[in-house]
Amino acid sequence: MTMDIAGLGARALGELGQVIEAMDQDGFMLFVDALAGANRLVLHGVGREGLMMRALAMRLYHLGLDAHVLGDMTTPPVGAGDLLVVSAGPGYFSSVEALARTARAAGADLACVTAQPGGPVPKMADHLLVLPAQTMADDQPDGEAELSVLPMGSLYEGAQYIAFELVVLALGAKLEVSPEALRGRHTNLE
């Protein structure tokens, strides 16, 4: 069996572009402002969404922000002025909801990246970044919408990566962080 890899790639890239184009620009900038204004940032996601959140945390650190990945040994407590940033693509994960409630009880704000803003976790959030993409919550044919060429929640996760790189560009400009300063915070232990 032969596959048209170039054609599949073009279709996937087109779908990713559509998600980014459909992203609310004002909501995007409010999300950037929330990250910039937090004392401390703690990021969390499950599965592949969690990998994208880890990638964002790394770049936030490179920008000079006090950013941590939840679950790492060095993750500090959160409180007033801090921001828990979670991913809940399909709008709900029980573990993410529990962590959000704990952070809110400690006085921290909540930011949520999602494809389903009507879900329980996004409804709890103070700040939302909505990426209108297929997730595992809607990856089954229903006769209405065409499914992504990418499997399961991959369209959402790919859109996260692109959106997060745009967040880094916007934050870098807002905080006046030069590319040299960004590079200067990259580990030298690789």
Q: Which domains does the chain have, with CATH numbers?
A: 26-134+149-182 (3.40.50.10490)
Q: Looking at residues 49-56, what average pLDDT do you find?
A: 98
Cα end-to-end distance, the chain, whole Å: 40
Active site residue 97: no
pLDDT of residue 190: 85
Q: Name which residue leads in pLDDT, 149 or 24.
A: 24
Residue 54 and residue 50: Cα distance in Å, rounded? Answer: 6
Beta strands in the chain (DSSP E): 41-44, 67-69, 83-87, 109-114, 127-130
Selecting among 49, 144, 157, 176, the annotated active-site residue is 157
Give yes or no for residue 177 having a pLDDT over 90.
yes
Q: What pTM was estimated for this model as a whole?
A: 0.94
